[in-house]
Copies of this chain bind each other. A is one copy, B any other.
Amino acid sequence: MSTADRIVTAALALFYRNGFHASGVDLLSAEAGVTKRTLYKYFPSKDELIESALQLRHEQFMAWLKQHVAAAAVEDGPLAYIDFIGNWVADAEFCGCAFINAAAEYAAPEQIPHRLADQHKEEVRALVVNLCTEAGAKDAVSVADSLFLIGEGLIVASQVRGYNESLVQNAKKAATLLWDAAR
């Protein structure tokens, strides 16, 4: 693992756990096990480090998601998406969605972290649309958007209120109902 990778990996972990504004560069470099000088050799500013960290997160997340839904039968793909979210929010390290958090801290839509969040969510939504299409939905876009909304709701509800087994079950139930109605 290269030095740059170690830095951006540690940065992502800290930003995710601690927030972007609340994570200073001193702590950041200490967490990565490098000097501030070295950090600034690879990333010209904290802003660009944030950008790189979110880029890394996007790649990791999409790979993780794709792997999960690929393990499900094609006709259950859309429900596997909700299942994936259900697994994710149960993780002890779960701190909400890094991109939703980024959009919250950088409210203006033209700010780079917010734009990256928008792009990330668009890719996820597109993936869900694909799952619905391949599973033979009547109106793939419509049901995909509904499932996407339930997923987003499950993420933030779990973040704010803490993990709740029955809420996850409920999300799966609602998703199943919507999905069955769309086939």
Which of B21, B122, B160, B174 sits near A161, CB closer than 8 Å? Answer: B122
**Chain A, range 58-103, C-beta contacts under 8 Å to B:** 95-96, 99-101, 103
Is there a chain B Cβ closer than 8 Å to A1's Cβ?
A: no
- How far in angstroms is the closest Cβ of chain B from A106? 8
Given known A178-B177, A178-B178, contact A149–B153 (CB-CB < 8 A) = yes
- How far in angstroms is the closest Cβ of chain B from A11? 16
Are A142 and B121 in touch, CB under 8 angstroms? Answer: no
Is there a chain B Cβ closer than 8 Å to A33's Cβ?
A: no
- Considering the chains assembled together, what is the distance between the CA atoms of A88 and B94 in angstroms? 28
Are A161 and B121 in touch, CB under 8 angstroms? Answer: yes
Are B157 and A152 in touch, CB under 8 angstroms? Answer: yes
Are B153 and A107 in touch, CB under 8 angstroms? Answer: no
- Considering the chains assembled together, what is the distance between the CA atoms of A156 and B96 in angstroms? 12
Are B152 and A167 in touch, CB under 8 angstroms? Answer: no
Are A105 and B21 in touch, CB under 8 angstroms? Answer: yes
Is there a chain B Cβ closer than 8 Å to A150's Cβ?
A: yes
Cβ contacts A to B, 9 pairs, < 8 Å: A19-B105, A21-B22, A100-B104, A100-B159, A104-B105, A118-B161, A146-B171, A148-B153, A150-B174
